[in-house]
Amino acid sequence: MTATEAAPEKPGLLQQIARFVAVGVVAALVDFGVYHLMLHLGLVVPVSKGISFILGTTTAYLLNRRFTFTGETGGRGRFAGFVALYAVTLAVNIGVNSLALALLPQIAFQTTIAWVIAQGTATVINFVMLRTVVFRS
């Protein structure tokens, strides 16, 4: 960075939340679309959810790094923190999704409802951990 370049201004909490939600919508569309595509192609639920979660959360990480958590520190450990966080939330997401499918009655949109429950759980974990650990604010 040269003397004439200013460091990007760090967004405040409310601005971060708004950006996180917007990025989350995009990432959720990736996750949801891939999940249902994989199910349609005949993959089992945990594999479908795992693939869709990885693609959705990678999308979220890249967009959040660029738009939500600008000006944050994290350095060399940032990617390692991302990998560790998403490994944990992948397991939580697949587990919550499977549990919801087992507990929900056989109703219309059962798969979608289970996906929403799992995604909501992972989203809360991701925001808190991205903000406080990966992108240290």
Residues above pLDDT 90, as percent of the chain: 41
Per-domain boundaries in the chain: 13-134
What tens digit of pLDDT does each residue of 18-48 get? 998 899 899 989 999 999 999 999 999 989 9
What tens digit of pLDDT does each residue of 58-94 get? 898 888 888 887 765 555 567 777 778 888 888 998 9
pLDDT category at 95 given cuts 50, 70, 90 is very high
* Whether pTM exceeds 0.85: no
Asked if residue 50 lies in contact with residue 114, where contact means CB atoms within 8 angstroms, the answer is no
Cα dist from 132 to 13, 14, 16, 46, whole Å: 12, 15, 12, 29
